[in-house]
Structures are given as C-alpha cells and as structure tokens.
C-alpha cells in the first residue's frame, strides 16, 4: 500500500515556490490548505505520493526552504490522521 504525505512549510510563499519546483520535476502533487488540526490559520500544504519523497526532501534542501513538518496521511474509519515523520 502506498501512502500519501503532506509537507507544511513556514510560509505560503515557500509552499508555492516548492510546488512550482516540484511540478517542473514531474511530481504528482497537490497544493492544499493545511489541515487545521496540524496548523492554524490559512497555511498551505503540498500533498505528494510516497514515491516522490526523495525528490521533495532534496528540493526542500536545495531551495533552502523552512519546513514545519512532513506528515504521513493515515486513513482511519471515516477520516484521516497525520503522523509526523520529519
């Protein structure tokens, strides 16, 4: 089973920059509102496939972006929970 992941950055501008860079690299990603049980306010997050994890982490480091966290999305019953992995 492949998992989905979320990366939440310290600002929306960092999230948009990472989103654009990852699209250019061919990653299948989505720019979404960050879940309110992780971050308050109007923060953005990028949802990506497990197979793109190495590319996402490398791009974060290369672009010197600040990350609040990377989370694994775990589907449970009728909802989702988020497990901090980094």
Alpha-carbon distance of 13 to 9, in angstroms, equals 9
19-58 pLDDT, tens digit each: 999 999 999 999 999 999 999 888 999 999 999 999 999 9
Alpha-carbon distance of 75 to 18, in angstroms, equals 25
pLDDT above 90 as % of the chain: 81
pLDDT grade, residue 86 (50/70/90)?
confident
Alpha-carbon distance of 56 to 42, in angstroms, equals 22
Place of tokens 């909802």: 79
pLDDT grade, residue 79 (50/70/90)?
confident
User: Which residues neighbour 82 within 8 Å (Cβ) at sequence distance 6 or greater?
Assistant: 6, 35, 37, 38, 71, 72, 73, 74
pLDDT value of position 25: 95
Residue 1 has pLDDT above 70, yes or no: no
């Amino acid at each position: 089973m492949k998992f989905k992941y979320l990366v939440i950055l310290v600002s929306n501008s960092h999230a948009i920059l990472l989103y654009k860079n990852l699209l250019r690299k061919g990653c299948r990603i989505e720019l979404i509102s960050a879940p309110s049980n992780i971050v308050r306010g109007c923060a953005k997050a990028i949802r990506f496939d497990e197979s793109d994890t190495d590319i996402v982490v490398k791009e974060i480091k290369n672009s010197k972006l600040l990350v609040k966290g990377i989370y694994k999305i775990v589907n449970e019953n009728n909802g989702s929970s988020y497990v901090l992995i980094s």
